[in-house]
Chain A
Amino acid sequence: MEDVTIKIKGMMCGHCEKTVAEAAKNVKGVTKALSDFKKGEAKVSFDSSVTDLETIKKAIADSGYEVIEDGEACPIPVRSATVPQQVKTVDKEGGIKKDFEYDSSKVSLAEFENAITSLGYGVAKNEVTLKVGLMHCASCALNIETALKKTPGITSVNVSFPLERARISYDPEQISAPDMIKIIEGVGYTASEKLDRSDADREQRAREEEIKRQRTNFIIALVLAVPISLGDMGRNLNWTFVPDILKNDYLLFILATLVMLFPGRQFFVGTYKGLRHGMTDMNLLIATGTGAAYTVSVAATFLDLGEAYKHTYYDTAALLIMFIVLGRYLEAFTKGKTSEAIRKLMGLAAKTARIIVNGEEKEIPVEAVKFNDIVVVRPGEKIPVDGKVTEGLTAVDESMLTGESMPVEKTAGSEVIGATMNKTGMIKFQATKVGADTALAQIIKLVEDAQTQKAPIQKLADIVAGHFILAVHVLALLAFFFWFFIGFEYFNVPGTFGMGMTSPFLFSLLISITVLIISCPCAVGLATPIAIMVGTGKGAENGILIKGGEALEKAQKLDTIVFDKTGTLTKGEPALTDVIAIKGSESEVLKLAAIAEKGSEHPLGEAILKGAKERGIDLPDAEGFRAIPGHGVEVKYRGKKVLIGTRKLMAENGMDITPLSARLEELEHSGKTAMIVAQDNEIVGMIAVADTLKESSKEAVEELHKMGFSVAMITGDNKRTADAIAKQVGIDRVLSEVLPEDKASEIKKLQSEGKKVAMVGDGINDAPALMQSDVGIAIGSGTDVAIESAQIVLIKNDVRDVSKSIRLSRMTLNKIKQNLFWAFFYNSVGIPIAMGILYPFTSPPFLLNPAVAAAAMAASSVTVTMNTLLMKRIKLDR
């Protein structure tokens, strides 16, 4: 005896389940057959000496359903998997688990994961997201990545500087999250596990504290730097309006020391912590620059070093710190704005829920709601978790999650999404997803994951930022050598400034300090992640979930969009389209058909019933309902036999259908399912039902055409039907009669023609095609946002969002390019000027003041952030 599970596509209801099970049971040798339309499978027990699996599959296929062969991608995507070194546990949606073992000497973990994902399954690893503090620039993020990557058991690390997150894949048998926190703390940063709502609140508070701290630092630096600058410059330039007391070296020393001790301390502490662990970051550049200016000034104050050393540079040190602290304040402020989307999403969640306990309502924290609890929501209240309505009628505003402005009507059986707003009536619903499983929690996770993922374009920025600090110190050293040994004498600096005014050391030192100060790895490091943060955040606000920078980059290179037909361009559920009366009126024919289908669970029957109800037809009960699988139904109404079904059913009942053939074929050729209605073995009419187009499909295709895309449709329908539908929506290329398993190879064919293809599908049946395409776009259903096979998920189930998502991708990538251009341009122009390249060519000789360099440096990262924030104001509609 053998037990098998056969994957089946096309089962839509209990009736289909029955048909499949019957088909399998009818095979000789099959002892038991149970099918489940929700799981899309049939479990069959059979005697292998009497029959074989192929015969059973054929019988099921002959009953009108598609059998999915082994090795094909399962239509149910794998949700998550834990990956110890030797065993993977794959947890499928629906609770099916599968353990994999592999030989790590023959295949690497990454190769194994790739093999699974290439089959259309998703593999979620043991991942942890840590909140990282005290990062000041992209170099800090790279320092943490380097330290973690060196650690055994860590398979991948992504540290986002603007998001202050580290996303780490790891082997739990070798390392744990507390170990990783220790490693991060060991290199001079703080780390903690996150994330729930209270963490988000804490994070918000921490950000506010940082803004406050930098604002206080800036005010102190400003208050001290103004008299220092007046005093120092007043003395050097003989400004008579400056009181003599301010020109006093000892007073300037005290004021400058206060600047170094309070607002400036953070740079020296940061440098010390980094150097202790062999790490260099932005702090080192600032500490070296300001420290050198301050030290030289202190030496000049307390030692007699000669005429040229009578000048102090306290103003340089103070102004440098003032401008850099101003930059940090503005950066902390604007960075907070970029992560607003996630905070807004987190803030959407309800704090409490009212559940029924022993027949009475009880208010509990939302975290305490359990699966299957009955939750009561009154008008004006937030729906606390995801669930299914059991009682009541209401309209729910889902705009906060889906972007859909119109409230959605909910009755018993409707699904409700946590964090949406109940508008009109009181409802009771059964909690189906709680905690981390709710749609909101999944959206937040998806957006956060996307924001911590690096775009390929960031590689260049990372390479630059990774070696930036070192390169700048080398340049500062070279500039110092050049001006000390060659430039000072060759370009007659003493002649220009006067010998008593400067010395080779001081002149070269100031140039070297300016090089250190003007260099800004922050702008380079921020350019990409900050644009991805804002782009993905804006997407989430509009019901478009983009899974990371790679998807963004690929989306802007697309030239062909392939739509799956059923459920994507069409509604995916049949609707009544034609009623043709042969005897009596159309409404009489429809009434008879609807009465007959009243007891049917079949989607076609439901469509007829719905059509009749919409036309206000009264539907009395019939007697003796009998479903004839694969053919139709039979009932008795007012003593007369009513039949509705196929040609075969009518022929078997002795009716001649030849006169109807032409009309039937015409209906079928236009993609409709035609049924014949008969009363007392006399044909009275025909009814046609079809999967109708979504209202937005035509507009979506038109918009894509306007954007210059070639649009194709892929379907299993015959060519004539597919052409008819494609014509209605204006699609130029039709890939018809494509079996579900062949959709991926059709996409591959298009790619081999050199096209960059996006596949738009429902994310479940189209998983292999979505995976094969350059960008898989899944049309979600509000709650199902964790579609693994897609890189972009459209929550709203609106195909018009395809063009919006592509527009958003283009916009984000343009912003990344702009940011990178400005960051590189700023550094590649600023550093040579700071090195004194203009000095020989200008008259009077031009040298960049270190304080101006500090202001420019502070401005560069703020400019990148502000430029990115402009994206928030752009509308995605056009």
Chain B
Amino acid sequence: MTSVASSVVKWIGTARPAAGVLLLILISLFSTVKLTKPTEQFASRFAGIVEVVPDRGTLYEHRFSVLRAVLPRHGTVGYVADQDSGYSDETVMAVQYALAPVLVERGPRHALVVGNITQPMTDPQQFLRQRNLTLIKDLGQGVLLLEGAPR
């Protein structure tokens, strides 16, 4: 009788800390399952199950890399876009990140202006006429180097 009671009490004593450790282990392992989601997404994309769409940064880095090569190494350039989203902080930051250390300022009032055309329906000639800008070079993929009217 005594030995059974002793075993039960001892088991409960050992079980309490073990239960605590088990709780932490299980919850930590369960939460790591959450971490596998992006891995699955990545694998699906590269297995061809889903179309590979680069993130905005990579996309802008690629589109504006040619422009960076023709811009001066320093200074400030203007920036115009064909739609409101082209002026969003995220888009301007992506252009700025691609063109650094050249500074990018919203608006056409600089000797050199960067044009960002993202909509296929946009007519480049009309886009330039509306903003009173002259095309210096069309670098493809909707990236234009323009001559503006400095302040």
Are A and B part of the same complex?
no
